[in-house]
Structure 1
Amino acid sequence: MAFSNSRPLLFSAVRGLSASPASYLVRRSWQQRLPKFCSASTLAQAEPEGAQLSAANISIEKTAAPKEKLPPSKLVFGHTFTDHMVQIPWNATDGWLTPKILPYQNLSLDPATCVFHYAFECFEGMKAYKDSKGSVRLFRPDKNMDRMNRTAARICLPTFDHEAFIKIIAELVKLDSDWIPSERGYSLYIRPTLIGTQASLGVGPPQSALLYVIMSPVGPYYPTGFKAVKLEATDYAIRAWPKGVGDRKLGANYAPAILPQQMAASRGYQQNLWLFGDEGYITEVGTMNMFLVFKQPDGKLELVTAPLDGTILEGVTRDSILGLARERFDKDKWVISERKATIREVADHATAGTLVEAFGSGTAAVVSPIKEISWRDQPISVPLQPGKETGPVAEQMAKWIAEIQYGEVEHPWSVLLE
């Protein structure tokens, strides 16, 4: 593969959204007769009501009973949680209330709480890492906060100042930093969550909400090295559709995908490759973004991923892979494409011997190599490197991103916590 060794460029931060209660924004949009499909980012530019989220007045209560920590080798993703959590209430009258760092604890919610009945819930997934000096780093937290704001606005939950929320998360991470394993490949998974808390069976914008954060130490996704997976191309169920909410990180997007995944597993496949439309457009793989590598007739290599058309999540890892590819790949030998690709195109490339590689991307695994795709009961074989469970691009991207995450290469994506 032809990779360039050019030095990393500085990447500009994604523009944040103003802190505005979404319930007010939606009412205002109706009053102003905005277009029917007004974007969430447009809505989030309206004037805020109540207090904005602030990191200046954090209340911290340390636990009196620290938990026993498991050895890193015993960690299971999302099963072990740190000693503390963040809770920040919001209501339509007062805005954001005092952020609190508390001992990890259960939530007490009325059975009529709207999150249970109408799915007023969104979340993010991000990680903290320890570098070789023991310092703690976050990876591109601005991207996660920007996406969470846009998701919240879409479902009438309050938005927030994302720089303030990053500071609050940083305080939580620093307090529980001894939960981050020092071994390479380990990290602290951070789950910011926002729920509607109004106790009412009426359908409407919630007048109260809770923003909270919990954290879980996690090990490497592939503890013994890459393990390429087999996919089942799925068109009998649709994960997302244009002008829907498949591009938002809503809990409601995940439960409907479990049954098709179980059905694929019963036939020997680890995940679904989600197709859309009669054309069989490739969207996502499981809960990850999808990448393909084709060899073009002129000999150039093309890295392909689906465009941001509303049918895929705007993945932070996806964006990182595209940014690194455009910066570091040899421009005379590579084409980087955000375009629609069909399962037929993949099959035709496989037949012609010009399908080079396929992999998924996401926070948990960074990259997940693919070795086979079943389409209409016929296998499409995806090449791997000799003696390895990965293709060269997935392997290179995993290395480059890990170097940034663990501070081995200085880069603006890696945020050092002071």
Structure 2
Amino acid sequence: MTMRRLKCLPRFFKYLLKNDLSNERGRSVSSFSQGEISLQTFGLKRLHNEPIFSANQQVHNQLFHSTTTSLKMRRQEYSSGLLSGRALQQQTAECIDNLPGPSNISFQDLVLQRSKTLKVKPKPDAQTLKFGAVCTDHMLQITWTEAHGWKAPAINPLGPLTLHPCSQVLHYAIECFEGMKAFRGKDGCVRLFRPDMNMHRLFCSAARIGLPHFDKVALLECIKELLRVEKDWIPSEEGFSLYIRPTMIATDSVLGLAPTKEAMLFVVLSPVGPYFPSGLKPIRLLVDTKHARAFPGGVGNNKVGGNYAPTLVPQKQAAERGCSQVLYVLQDGLGKGGLVGEAGAMNLFVLLRSTNLNEELELVTPALDGTILPGVTRDSVLRLSKSFGNMKVSERQLYFNEIEDAASEGRVIEVFGTGTACMIQPISGFVKEDGTEISLKFDSKAAEYWLRKLPGSLSNCNQDYEPISLCGRLTRKLLDIYYGYTEHPWSVVVN
């Protein structure tokens, strides 16, 4: 059928045709058989007047010819009795329903407008380059409407967003975001780390709060192009990177809680150093059982803004008590100290010895039960640790009493947090709400042993005769992948 042959057309034009066809459904079959429904009815006149369409006359001619042929064949079949009026209407309806919906993100349509004034790039200094304080010269921006889908992506000079005061994001926090990094290796190549996971997580977060779906591959290609434009902003020193923040917001200007009909997706870049400038120096966590970062049935497994604003007050309280972050422990009434959740913006890991005779090592992190964010670094740590082969790796419910008891018995080897921003962050202790402190081991010499290894040399290690420090070993392994010292499928080169 004619409509099935329109896949060569841009999706926006298909959308125009689909609307025109839908409007003509009410026209009588007899009018169709008599040829009173012209080619203009099928949207050809509208398409012909579109500047971008008129630039491709060959496509226009093919569409004109195929539509003409299809109309003649249907009129002949109807007139000769081979096609009933009901069948004619059904075929037309099928053509309409089988057409693609509003357009998706298209990398081929990307438009670039370079900034006329470029900023001075900051020096890669861990003490002065604050996380997220400086943005690059350009940003990626794509708008969406329910009627027309995603418009052409655009890389523009960095600038303020124009929002109506009634935009839904400002009133109902209909917003989600991602955090990822680009690294420049010693070979000069720019690399992304498992970006497919970030695109999938953004897709899931958007779906959870009613924001539009998008083509994950196309968005990633647009981000790569933004990185090519801003390649001079990517630091080459180890430990430094270019932080990437894709964000999607609801921009429909309606003071009412309803599915949004307008949205915007934008991406900004920021050169960053270590999230914790102290490096692998351990930090303390305040154990918080009063505030809940996430709860069953909520959105703790999605990266939405509403998960983060309520943590600001507990974070301030933690700082007042000499702690760098908050460990959220959800009370479930079982008397086990509560379920261990996340540590600020980090996933938590505990390496402990079992109580059995062989004193087996077990690396434990809370399971993805809906309250835990499926971190990219979290998943990477789980997979790498399993490949080390000298420990049991578990994703399960973890109660705070288990950690407290293991610490008092000397069975806790290491505790650390993971995240895109911090990578691997060792924990030196917990401070409970009543002031009780739980000290944790951290073997800084063992960690330094692994960090001092030559980049890319971990494949030659003999773990049976080397000190135990997952913090050090995982950090060295991840750095090797980030900066291309080791070839790995998780490392995606931006050509």
TM range (shorter): 0.7 to 0.9
Matches within 5 A, 1:285-296: 285-296=343-354
Letter in 2 for 1:338: E
In the TM superposition, what is the alpha-carbon distance from 1:206 to its structure 2 partner?
Answer: 0.6
Partner of 1:72: 124
Report which of the two structures shows the higher radius of gyration computed on alpha carbons. Answer: 2
Structure 1 residues 276-355: aligned runs within 5 Å: 276-277=330-331, 278=333, 279=336, 280-296=338-354, 297=356, 298-327=358-387, 329-330=388-389, 333-355=390-412
CA contact (8 A) 1:359 1:367 kept: yes
Do the aligned partners of 1:367 and 1:398 also contact (CA within 8 Å) in 2? yes
Identity of aligned pairs, percent?
44
- Residue of structure 1 equivalent to 2:421: 364
* Cα distance in 1 between the residues matched to 2:476 and 2:194: 17
> Aligned residue for 1:225?
279
Residue type of the partner of 2:419?
Answer: G
2:481 equivalent in structure 1: 404
Asked if the contact 2:481–2:491 (Cα under 8 Å) also holds between the matched residues in 1, the reply is yes
Contact 2:282 2:427 in 1 (8 A): yes
Q: Deviations over 1:170-207 (max 9, x none)?
A: 00001101001111111000000000000010210110
Decide which structure has greater strand share.
Answer: 1
Distance between the aligned counterparts of 2:490 and 2:436, measured in 1? 41
Number of aligned positions between the proteins: 369
- For 2:401, what is the secondary structure of its paired residue? helix
After superposition, the Cα gap between the structure-2 partners of 1:158 and 1:48, relative to the gap in structure 1 and judged at 3 Å, is farther
CA RMSD, 1 decimal? 1.5
Runs of 4+ residues deviating >6 angstroms: 388-391
Q: How far off its partner does 1:353 sit? A: 1.0
More helix by share: 2
C-alpha deviation, 1:396, in angstroms: 1.0
Q: CA deviation at 1:386?
A: 4.9
CA contact (8 A) 1:49 1:92 kept: no
Structure 2 letter corresponding to 1:321:
V
Aligned partner of 1:59 among 111, 118, 123: 111
Q: Give the secondary-structure state (helix, strand or coil) at the position aligned to 2:109.
A: coil
Given that 1:59 and 1:101 are in contact with CA atoms closer than 8 Å, whether structure 2 keeps it comes out as yes
Q: Give yes or no for the alignment of 1:243 onto 2:301.
A: no
Matched, 1:267 2:321: yes
Per the alignment, residue 36 of structure 1 pairs with: none
- Given that residues 196 and 208 in structure 1 are in contact (C-alpha distance below 8 angstroms), is that contact kept between their aligned partners in structure 2? yes
1:359–1:368 contact (8 Å) kept in structure 2: yes
Give 5+ residue unaligned stretches, structure 2: 1-98, 449-467
Change (3 A) 1:265 1:133: same
Whole-angstrom distance in 2 between the partners of 1:65 and 1:224: 35
| Paired residue type of 1:174 | R
Counterpart of 1:66, as a letter, is L
Name the CA distance, whole Å, in 2 between partners of 1:294 and 1:341: 12
Of 365, 368, 384, the residue aligned with 2:442 is: 384
| Mapped partners of 1:253, 1:284: distance in 2 | 12
Q: Which amino acid aligns with 1:55?
A: F
Deviations 1:185-239 (A, max 9, x none): 1100000000000001021011000000000001123445312111111101111
* Greater RCO (Cα-Cα under 8 Å, separation 6 or more): 1
Which of 119-128 and 215-224 deviates more?
215-224
**Contact in 1 for aligned 2:140/2:155 (Cα 8 Å):** yes
Q: Secondary structure at the match of 1:349?
A: helix
Change (3 A) 1:146 1:80: same
Question: By how many angstroms is 1:377 displaced?
Answer: 2.4
The 1:269/1:48 distance shift into structure 2, 3 A limit, reads farther
Q: Name which of 152, 169, 183 aligns with 1:98.
A: 152
Mapping 1:48-197, distance limit 5 Å: 49-73=101-125, 74-197=128-251
